């Protein structure tokens, strides 16, 4: 059972917009910033979003994110086939003194 809660799956057709939610508590998302990762099969996670809604250089602006209270969300617009991957949210947890991850959301592009 992951500390942060994500839906196990999401799907969309090319060109659509999809959102992935991430729910936490006051000790993690509620008091710390959120990062989002994309993981393609057989590879290490790749940073998509940091500081709740900032994109590293090289990440397309089709990816956006937000945070409100103890929840966060990742949005992908103009869905492309190469976006098919697992997506994880992450945050520091003040109670656990460690990083916590969501269980991951498998995005399927139909």
Partner 1 sequence: QAQLVESGGGVVQRGGSLRLSCAASGFTFSSYVMHWVRQAPGKGLEWAALISNDESKRYYADSVKGRFTISRDNSKNTLYLQMNSLRTEDTAVYYCWTTVTGSAFDYWGQGTLVTVSS
- Binding residues for partner 1, rule: CB under 8 A, are 2, 32-33, 35, 37, 39, 44-47, 50-51, 54, 56-57, 86, 88, 90, 92, 96-104
User: Smallest distance from the beta carbon of 83 to partner 1, in angstroms?
Assistant: 18
The torsion angles phi and psi of 98, rounded to 5 degrees, stand at -165, 170
Closest CA to 4 of 16, 20, 19: 20
SS3 of 81, please?
Answer: helix
CB nearer to partner 1: pick between 13 and 97: 97
Category of 97 on φ-ψ map: left (φ > 0), alpha (ψ -120 to 50) or beta: left
CB nearer to partner 1: pick between 46 and 62: 46
CB nearer to partner 1: pick between 2 and 70: 2
């Amino acid at each position: 059972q992951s500390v942060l809660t994500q839906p196990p799956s999401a799907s969309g057709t090319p060109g659509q917009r999809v959102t992935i939610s991430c729910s936490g508590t006051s000790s993690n998302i509620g008091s710390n910033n959120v990062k989002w990762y994309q993981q393609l099969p057989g590879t290490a996670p790749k940073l998509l979003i940091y500081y709740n809604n900032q994109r590293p250089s090289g990440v397309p602006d089709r990816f956006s994110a937000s945070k409100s209270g103890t929840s966060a969300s990742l949005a992908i617009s103009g869905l492309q086939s190469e976006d098919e991957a697992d997506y994880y949210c992450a945050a520091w947890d003040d109670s656990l003194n460690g990083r916590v991850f969501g269980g991951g959301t498998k995005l399927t592009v139909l």
